Amino acid sequence: MAIIQQILFIAVLGAVAWLAYKRVTLIRSTILLGKPEDRTDRPAERFATMLRIAFGQKKMFDRPLIGLLHFAVYIGFILINIEVLEIVLDGMLGEHRIFAPLLGGFYSVLIGFFELLAIGVLLACVIFLLRRSVVKVGRLQPARHREMNGWPELDGKLILVFEIVLMIAILTMNAADTVLQDLGSPHYRQTGDFFFSQFLKPLFTGISEDTLIIYERVAWWFHILGIFIFAIYLTYSKHLHIVLAFPNTYFSRLIPKGQMNNMPEITSEVKMMLGLETAPAGEAAAVPERFGAKDVQDLSWKNLMDAYSCTECGRCTEACPANITGKKLSPRKIMMDTRDRLEDVGRNMQANGGTFVADGKSLIDDYILEEEINACTTCNACVQECPVLINPLDIILQLRRYRIMDESKAPASWNMMFQNMDTNQAPWKFSQGDRFNWAAGLEPNDK
């Protein structure tokens, strides 16, 4: 029987590794469709940012209680899964608690610590589920935010239920294990009771040894299969941020948030018009293929990594003044739509041997509406709020540049402003000599 379990386990492990590899490769390929952008400068500062924001969860603690609960889930998830290494080795080698003889008495202390973390994860997940389903936190409700309809809402609840069940499986597995130790079952090494599961032992007393073994084995398989399923599910879910938060914060912008990246071609042309720069002799000015961005391929690879890193927490949308005043713009939806387009592009590439074949769609119009991007005030509130340093504004600006500069589809009021800026160097239609007429008749304050 043991050899059959080993073979089955190795087969499952191989299948999961293959599926994860294919999915990760596809995500990497779609991110690399983006335009190159150098984010390798100031490595020490970047590493410090990653430690502070991704490892330290600094921005989550802007809301202390939620930050503490999220930190409990985060730390618990990372440390509890150290135990997965032992389970994988047990499954491959046909052993049971292979580290117990190596660690001696410290083993029960270590597992007890993992159980303490499991309790923290379980309680935090229950609270988060209640916030979504009972308290109904506004930024997470599809009734108020259309982008949360359907799968996004289910995804948020599904993973919480999944983690709750997984933590219960770990604790009851350990309780059944220690009861089997007390019975002297030959496969179960003597480790002693564990921190929390010892209080669950009465649930298993009086049950036959064979039944206990079946339960413990089912719980063991459920636990490891749950981890494997989660590893695959992660790549299709918003929970991909668990992994991508680290590179995303490392490669985040180090320049001030309000500093916009000008288009080099336009900047150069303006400087030549002002006499600040001369055109290279004998060379025609380079004309870009497209101004701004029409589809995901026109964005940078960092913009696309941002889309995959989005946590869908809605803090950006909650802080957006355009959204607060009833406009259609939702920075969270911008990131989710960009990711949806990337997923469609990825499926297209899979169906065509790794090459993208034009499908008649584009990010602007088919996923993101003109009304949404025109509502943005460029205030950077969304950028400031993001817990993993995503920049929705950069995508909005590039889509807007395409609409205005490539398709000449700016709103009429904007065109008037652009014309005034061109002729009067001011948004208003009056000459430069009249700019200070508003101050005529004002008396200086002598007090």
Question: At CB < 8 A and 24+ separation, what contacts does 81-87 make?
Answer: 81/227, 82/114, 83/111, 83/114, 84/224, 84/227, 87/220, 87/223, 87/224, 87/227
CATH number at residue 317: 1.10.1060
* pLDDT on residue 241: 92
222 & 346 share domain:
no
219 & 76 share domain:
yes
36: in domain: no
353 & 404 share domain:
yes
328: in domain: yes
339 & 421 share domain:
yes
Question: How far apart, in Å, do the first and last CA atoms of the chain sit?
Answer: 97
Chain centre to alpha carbon of residue 437: 52
CA nearest neighbour of 251 among 8, 31, 37 = 37
22 & 169 share domain:
yes
Q: Which of 250, 281, 306 is the last residue of a domain?
A: 250
* pLDDT on residue 444: 67
187: in domain: yes
In single-letter form, the type of residue at position 383 comes to: V
CA nearest neighbour of 177 among 224, 222, 202, 212 = 212
135 & 233 share domain:
yes
299 & 181 share domain:
no
273: in domain: no
CA nearest neighbour of 168 among 196, 127, 133 = 196
CA nearest neighbour of 146 among 322, 398, 334, 361 = 334
283: in domain: no
Task: Print pLDDT tens along the chain (447 aa).
Answer: 578 888 899 999 999 999 999 999 999 999 999 999 999 999 999 999 999 999 998 999 988 988 898 888 888 877 777 788 888 888 998 888 999 999 888 999 999 999 999 999 999 999 999 999 999 999 999 988 999 999 999 999 999 999 999 999 999 999 999 999 999 888 888 998 998 999 999 999 889 999 999 999 999 999 889 889 988 999 999 989 999 999 999 999 999 888 888 887 778 777 777 777 776 665 655 667 788 999 999 999 999 999 999 999 999 999 999 999 999 999 999 999 999 999 999 999 999 988 899 999 999 999 999 999 999 999 999 999 999 999 999 999 999 999 998 888 888 888 888 888 777 777 877 777 777 787 887 876 655
The model carries a pTM of 0.88
163 & 25 share domain:
yes
* pLDDT on residue 130: 94
* pLDDT on residue 445: 64
53: in domain: no
50: in domain: no
Cβ atoms 317, 144 nearer than 8 A: no
* pLDDT on residue 269: 74
CA nearest neighbour of 91 among 190, 191, 10 = 10
Cβ atoms 338, 303 nearer than 8 A: yes
Cβ atoms 235, 20 nearer than 8 A: yes
Count of structural domains, the chain:
2
421: in domain: yes
245 & 295 share domain:
no
* pLDDT on residue 435: 75
Q: Which of 235, 250, 265 is the last residue of a domain?
A: 250
* pLDDT on residue 331: 97
CA nearest neighbour of 424 among 413, 440, 415, 435 = 435
242 & 332 share domain:
no
230 & 322 share domain:
no
Range of the domain at 372: 289-427
141 & 210 share domain:
yes
